[in-house]
A and B are shown apart, each in its own frame.
Chain A
């Protein structure tokens, strides 16, 4: 069985084709674009991807306007039905703005757009998105964002930590979580957050840009392959 991925396309999305390439050409699954104004039959996809980019030019706040589109209501329905939802970069911002993930992403503490490779320590391998990783494994996956500074109030943060919803943290190549390894000022070096139910993941790094050796790393495949394993098991 092949997994059917739906990839949402907003005005300003720019990683939609990379995501489609990753799931279809690299991983041999089915993939299809969904224009954000579409209403898609609820059984059409096994998993949805909200790709990176600058939906609506990041007007007001990154992801704030995109979450008002019909397709994002669909994302909430999919999440309620237990399907998998992966938001990368702008997709993560949209998921927090839509209230599907806790916290928010604001301007990098450096005030700079940060584009480069990061190392990510896997904090929780017991999720549908990281089941092929080991705890403490270090993934090399790039980031490219100006507003990736994850913030949540201390109570929310404590809950996230306690429930294992912090899935990836920025770290050194050796897996040490240090301030210097944090590209954007995120609290607790948080790079990826899972919802409480465990089927919606938001991450600032771009796994779709690290799926082939030619791209400099294939570690992003582990995220997609974990999803595929979960959905076909």
Chain B
């Protein structure tokens, strides 16, 4: 079953967020003196296949703990929902193919399109030799 998860990663309370502080100053400069605090985090959107919702939830929880958030500095929450296969994004465009990327954002996949396999997160220089001088 295909699912879509949205993992929200925020700095723990008490961890100084210099980026948030800079954004706060900029908002004040733009004329929003009422802004009292800004914290900047990140959102990781991911699609996955799992046997059922419980398994999907368990996996996303584990991904958050093991990689997406650093427990020393950050905490995370996530939402999870089943999606129709057509709602999964098109296969990732290769670097340097902006047309394909925008198509993936704009056009829903054809009905019955295959579920996208997890894209390899590694960059393409994996096979570069580490040469000595």
**Complex partner residue of A17 from B11, B126, B133, CB under 8 angstroms:** B133
Complex interface: stretch among B51-59, B68-76, B82-90, B102-110: B68-76
**Complex partner residue of A104 from B67, B73, B129, B131, CB under 8 angstroms:** B73
Residues from chain B with Cβ under 8 Å of A57 in the complex: 123
Most chain-B Cβ atoms within 10 A of its Cβ — which of A96, A103, A107, A110? A107
Q: Is the CB of B68 within 8 A of A60?
A: yes
**Complex partner residue of B129 from A32, A35, A97, CB under 8 angstroms:** A35
Using CB atoms, name the residue of chain B closest to A36.
B130
Q: Is the CB of A110 within 8 A of B18?
A: yes
Interface check A43, CB cutoff 8 A: no
Q: Is the CB of A111 within 8 A of B18?
A: yes
Rounded to whole angstroms, the CA-CA distance of A64 and B70 in the bound complex is: 8
Q: Is the CB of B123 within 8 A of A151?
A: no
What are the nearest 6 A-B pairs in CB distance? Answer: A104-B72, A35-B130, A9-B130, A33-B130, A104-B73, A109-B18
For window 1-44 of A, CB contacts with B under 8 Å fall at 9, 11, 16-17, 20, 32-35, 37
Q: How many residues of B contact A (CB 8 A)?
A: 21
Q: Is the CB of B72 within 8 A of A152?
A: yes
Q: Mark A112-136, 1 if CB is under 8 A from B, else 0.
A: 0000000000000000000000000
Most chain-A Cβ atoms within 10 A of its Cβ — which of B68, B70, B121, B131? B70
Residues from chain A with Cβ under 8 Å of B130 in the complex: 9, 16, 33-35
Interface check A65, CB cutoff 8 A: yes
Residues from chain A with Cβ under 8 Å of B125 in the complex: 11
Residues from chain B with Cβ under 8 Å of A37 in the complex: 126
**Complex partner residue of B22 from A34, A111, A151, CB under 8 angstroms:** A111
Rounded to whole angstroms, the CA-CA distance of A96 and B71 in the bound complex is: 11
Q: List 23 A-B contacts (CB under 8 A).
A: A11-B123, A11-B128, A20-B133, A33-B130, A35-B128, A37-B126, A56-B123, A61-B70, A65-B121, A96-B72, A97-B70, A103-B72, A104-B72, A104-B73, A106-B11, A106-B15, A107-B19, A108-B18, A109-B16, A110-B18, A111-B18, A151-B72, A185-B16
Rounded to whole angstroms, the CA-CA distance of A102 and B22 in the bound complex is: 28
Rounded to whole angstroms, the CA-CA distance of A108 and B11 in the bound complex is: 14
Interface check B33, CB cutoff 8 A: no
Q: Is the CB of A60 within 8 A of B67?
A: yes
Rounded to whole angstroms, the CA-CA distance of A153 and B131 in the bound complex is: 40
Residues from chain A with Cβ under 8 Å of B123 in the complex: 11, 56-57
Rounded to whole angstroms, the CA-CA distance of A111 and B133 in the bound complex is: 36
Residues from chain B with Cβ under 8 Å of A106 in the complex: 11, 15, 73
Rounded to whole angstroms, the CA-CA distance of A110 and B15 in the bound complex is: 15
Rounded to whole angstroms, the CA-CA distance of A111 and B17 in the bound complex is: 10
Rounded to whole angstroms, the CA-CA distance of A96 and B121 in the bound complex is: 21
Interface check A180, CB cutoff 8 A: no
Interface check B34, CB cutoff 8 A: no
* B126 CB → nearest A CB, Å: 7
Rounded to whole angstroms, the CA-CA distance of A27 and B131 in the bound complex is: 21
Given contacts A60-B68, A107-B19, 4 further A-B contacts (CB under 8 A): A16-B130, A35-B129, A107-B18, A151-B72
Rounded to whole angstroms, the CA-CA distance of A44 and B125 in the bound complex is: 26
